[in-house]
Amino acid sequence: RAVSRGGANRQGCPRHKAPSGMAAQRLECPVCLEVQDGQQHQCREGHVFCASCDSSLRAPRRCPECRMALGPLSQAIRCRSHEESIAALPAACSHCGLATTRGEVAAHEQDCPQRPRVCPAAEAGCAWSGLLADKAAHEATCPFAVCQRMMAPLQSEVVELRAENERVQAQVAPLRAQVA
C-alpha cells in the first residue's frame, strides 16, 4: 500500500494518512515519491527506496540517488529501521475506523467485527453479505447453507461407497478372468 504526499493512498482512500514535513521526506521513496508498506531496500551509502521500485530498476541496477552499483535483487540490503518507522505510522481500519498503526491494521481488519462477511454457502449461490454478528442467524435460515449441511454427510458416504466399490471391482476382476 502506498501513501502519497496528498494524505491518501493511490486509490484515494484515507486509510493511511501521509506523514508530514521531515518525516514524510525521510520515509518517502525517492523514485515513486510515496511511503510504501513492506520491504525497503538501501544502497551501501544508506539511500533507501521501496522494494517495488527496486524490482523495477533496469540492468545494470544502480541506486536511484547516488547511482552506486547495486548487487542482484536477490541480495538486496533491507533497511529494517525504515520498515519499522513506516509500520509505526498511524492508520485507521477501513471498516470501523479504529485508530491503529500501518503495521497492525491488516491483522485488525481480518478480525474486525465490522468487516463484511459472506455466507459460507456463497459458492452454492447465496448472495448474502453482512456483519459477523448477523452471520449465525443468517446461516440458520439460509436454504443454501441448510442444503450444504445436509449434503456433507451424504457426500462423505458417497466417497466411502466409491472406495468400497473399487475394492470389490478389484476382487471381481481376477474371478472374471478365471471364468472366461
Give the start-to-end residue ranges of the domains of the chain: 2-111, 118-179
Give the model's pLDDT for residue 177. 87
CB contact at 8 A, 23 and 13: no
170, exposed or middle or buried, with CB in 10 Å at 0-12, 13-18, 19+? exposed
- Whose cell is 454427510? That residue is 153
Task: Annotate 101-154 with DSSP letters as a single string.
Answer: EHHHHHHHHHH-TTS-EE-TTGGGT---EE-HHHHHHHHHH-HHHHHHHHHHHH
Give the model's pLDDT for residue 68. 93
Give the model's pLDDT for residue 172. 92
Amino acid at 56: S
**Tens-binned pLDDT, residue by residue, of the chain (180 aa):** 444 433 434 333 445 555 555 665 689 999 999 999 999 999 999 999 999 999 998 888 999 999 999 999 999 999 999 999 999 999 999 999 999 999 999 999 999 999 999 999 999 999 999 998 899 999 999 999 999 889 989 999 999 999 999 999 999 999 888 887
CA distance 15 to 159: 48
Give the model's pLDDT for residue 19. 55
CATH code of 2-111, in short, is 3.30.40.10
115, exposed or middle or buried, with CB in 10 Å at 0-12, 13-18, 19+? middle
